[in-house]
Amino acid sequence: MSKSPGKTMSNLSQALITAALGLMVGYESAAAQQQPDSQTQTAPIEQQQSMQALAEAIHAVIQQAHELERVFMNLAKKYTRDGVEAYIGPENCAVLQELVTSLRGIELALKNVVVPAPLSDLHAQLRRSFAKGRSWVSVVNDLARQAYEAPRSIDGLASGDALRALADHSTKRLVVLANA
């Protein structure tokens, strides 16, 4: 079996990130066109066409985010069922962590970008879709980290039996979430 997260996974993630960045540039351009004192102010028909093009681009990015969610949800199910070690090696943990960090950065940028008013509802859908996709990437990253990183031992006052019960409960809950 392959010991790599796969080209498709990487290409899908990078395409989503690039498309989201392109949208934010499009938002800036649309905002500049709407400024009454702007030298780049355009006619209403051109503004409407620009908004329509942005709406279509948002729909495309939402579809990419849904695909990212689907791919990583399936990976989480496979990893939970068969074990992470059957699919990826420890060298890929850093790649997954970097991907989660990049997606979180884009998610924050999408939260803070100024969105043209006609696109605000669609942008909210985009943010939700993006967050769901990032969430499943995070689950896969967490599964990989748990498989390859040794737990740290910390002296504490909790009993070993209580900690084992908590770990068992958390593992069962994670399996339920992954199979949902």
Per residue in 15-65, pLDDT tens?
A: 888 888 888 888 887 766 666 554 555 567 777 888 888 899 999 999 999
pLDDT of amino acid 2: 44
Domain count, the chain: 1
- Whether residue 7 is predicted with pLDDT greater than 80 in this model: the reply is no
Question: Is residue 125 a part of any domain in this protein?
Answer: yes
**Which of the pair, 29 or 91, is modelled with greater confidence?**
91
For residue 136, what are the domain limits? 7-178
Question: Is residue 64 a part of any domain in this protein?
Answer: yes
**What are 101-148's pLDDT values in tens digits?**
999 999 999 999 988 888 899 999 999 999 999 999 999 999 999 988
Question: Is residue 124 a part of any domain in this protein?
Answer: yes
Question: Is residue 1 a part of any domain in this protein?
Answer: no
Residue 150's pLDDT band, with cuts at 50, 70 and 90, is confident
**The pTM is what?**
0.72
pLDDT of amino acid 3: 44
Contact between 65 and 71 under an 8 Å Cβ cutoff? The reply is: no
Question: Is residue 165 a part of any domain in this protein?
Answer: yes
**Which of the pair, 9 or 131, is modelled with greater confidence?**
131
95: tokens are 């790649």
Question: Is residue 2 a part of any domain in this protein?
Answer: no
Over residues 11-17, mean pLDDT:
82
- Whether residue 4 is predicted with pLDDT greater than 70 in this model: the reply is no
pLDDT winner (highest mean) among 3-12, 53-62, 145-154: 53-62
pLDDT of amino acid 144: 92
Angle between helices 120-148 and 7-34 (to 10 degrees): 150
Question: Is residue 171 a part of any domain in this protein?
Answer: yes
Question: Is residue 75 a part of any domain in this protein?
Answer: yes
pLDDT of amino acid 24: 84
